[in-house]
Structure 1
Amino acid sequence: MLRVMTGMVKTDVHDHHLFKIRMRELESLLNALGYRVIERVVQVREKESVDFVFGKGKVDEIREKVKKLNPDLFVIYNNITSKQKWNLERALGVEVADRYDVTLMIFREAASDILSKLQIELASLEKLFPYVKLSASIKYKKMRAGFRGGGEYAYHKQIRALQKRIKILRDKIERLSQQRELEILKRLGDGASIVVLTGYYNAGKTSIFNALTGLEKPVSDRPFTTLSSKYAGIRGENIYLVDTIGFVMDLDPKLIASFKLNLLDIKYSSKQILVLDVSDREELLKIKLIESMRILRDLGKGEDSILVAANKADLVDEPDLRRRVDFIRDILGDSVPIIPVSAMKGTGLRELVDALVRELEIMR
């Protein structure tokens, strides 16, 4: 099993607990990739170091840990710049990645269709390009032998090749986006409504999708089993249900934007079913709810268009379930329908569909 060290620069001095939840989520993603976390480093700073993320003293400390533990990878929770990555890799002598990279690694493993693979490749290259440009520039400037020497030629050739591939991918995805948009508009023109399932990974979105549509999409404990949107009709209703990619904590807006075709589904949806794992600890439930709403608002959706499916209701007792539903309502307000369901047991699903139909009728 590959070995990984994790790190974070915590800039909120008043955060005594949330950062631990963030780190645990990062480490669970790494575990899913087959890494074993062997060390965790957290530094509290007013702001990240421009050059190394961590302060110089902490970098020296991490270097000693790397020498002693010999990890395969050092992953930082903070999103890092190309300059920071370059400097850290030179200083530590180990490959350095950030949370964005880890998410892309998970996506890459989960991708099974051409469309997902195209979007992931584009997101990866757009993330990689500034780093390659920086590292190639430094490397070839040292090698350059006079004006337009071999080093400079190789540098420009590498950059042009990357730019060309990025353009090809963008053009392909744009054509597919236009095709997808026409398909969506045709469905809407036929009088159907589009409803998307959203929420954190492993909340049970795909299980609910299968239960409501009669399909058997793969369900897994691994994160991001669903990368490409899947349309299917809800039995007995003129509603297309769409299973979409799951959220993670602090999901980078650039990464969301990379999945342009998934955004179209949300853009044209009349309603969004926000699936929450109601068996989560209340603190974690609150974090996931607030983060999910932040992402949905960034995508132009809000409380006026969502329903909440409080999934895994069978895993909590009745008084606890009522308290958690009230807890969700306190955050979202009384106007948002909250329906306790269990995708595994099949309970509450009819109530969810009935609530959805009522909400859609109000919109017409």
Structure 2
Amino acid sequence: MRRLPLVLRNPSFGRIWAGQLLTQAASRMFQVGAVWWLVGRAGGGHRGLASGLFLMVSTLPAVALAPVVAGIVARCAHRTVLAGAAAVAGVSAGMAAVLAYAGMLPMAAAYVVGLVLAACQAVFDPCLTTSVPELVEDADIESATGFELSTQSVAGLCGGLLGPLVVDAGSVAAVVAVCAAAYLLAALLVGATRFPRTGAGDAGADGPPPRRRALRQILADLPFIRRVLVCFAAANVFTTAVYVVMPLYTREVLHATGSTVASLEAALGAGTLVGSFSGGRLPGRPVAVGSVCLAVMATALGLPGLFAGHAAAVVSMAVVGWCVGVIGVRFVALFQRLVPADDKPGFFAVMQALLGATFPVSSLVFGALGDHLTARTLCLVQGAGLVPVALALWWLGGRAEDRRVPVGQPSTGAAT
């Protein structure tokens, strides 16, 4: 008999997953809506730089706050951290919405709101990843990882679709108001959830307290994982630029409205969702699968630059999203099993920081380039930049096998 999906047979995990869906959808909705507002209305002659600067500000907290987040997640009850982060974001967005409806919210305030929401998300996401063993049995870790990673794609579908449409139909004030409601509902859901396996992987009540190590030491003891993270950080320089390039492409090449931006965001989210749930079924070791996915992404990112048109852009975003979903579920599941339990709070915080470190640079660089190069040229730059990263990851996998480094066996569980 086929079992129910994890989010239905484990109500605690289901509520936490719903809370993550709400927070990430709200964050994505605000980001996409604000970028389209800057590109279409408020950015003026420097819309590329303005939107790139906004995305840079929105990604800095994940990098700058990594040591602080690791300490908070390690010391505090995870339910309290998750509910508190969502509540702070909700209150902040609510205050911004009130000012916006009163006509007292200047453009610069959008950057401040983006910074605050990103800081709350920088706490929420690694805390949730660390909390997975407290919510599910070991046999369900990969399924939980699939649901957790699929949240980003579902959030892309919801937030990415609504953000530009609401801006075109109304204003940024409406976007911020919806975000505030989503964050506050997430805080209520998390606050009402019981963590049935709290303390899983830690020392018993009568044993010694779990050891907490410096972030640098954690990565120093995981050389293979460290090199993999560096490869993906380099890949992010080119992949995350889509959040700047696609709105510019819509404006300059397609001459379209927010509904087109929404369709591209939806294609990216749908592709990521499919990849998150199908990644566990693909044969091969994670490094081999990741290398092939990066090569496919390089081709897909360059496609709109070679063939201008809405269809090419939609196909490109769908393929890129699928590759992102596959890579995410394979490697995060691998890290959940290889990283010692006591090191997980620090590891997932530093993982988020390392992977996000290039996002601010990518946003600012591609945003500035967008004022001088055509959007089609930027697509080709993205694709070309991923090629050496794919080759480096492939070489790393071959070298690890030669040295018999444990790089993970093919997954047999489906993320359902």
TM-score, normalisation: structure 1: 0.27
Higher relative contact order (CA 8 A, sep 6+): 2
State TM-score, norm by structure 2. 0.24
Pick the structure with more helix per residue: 2
Larger Cα-atom Rg: 1
Of Structure 1 and Structure 2, the greater strand share is in 1
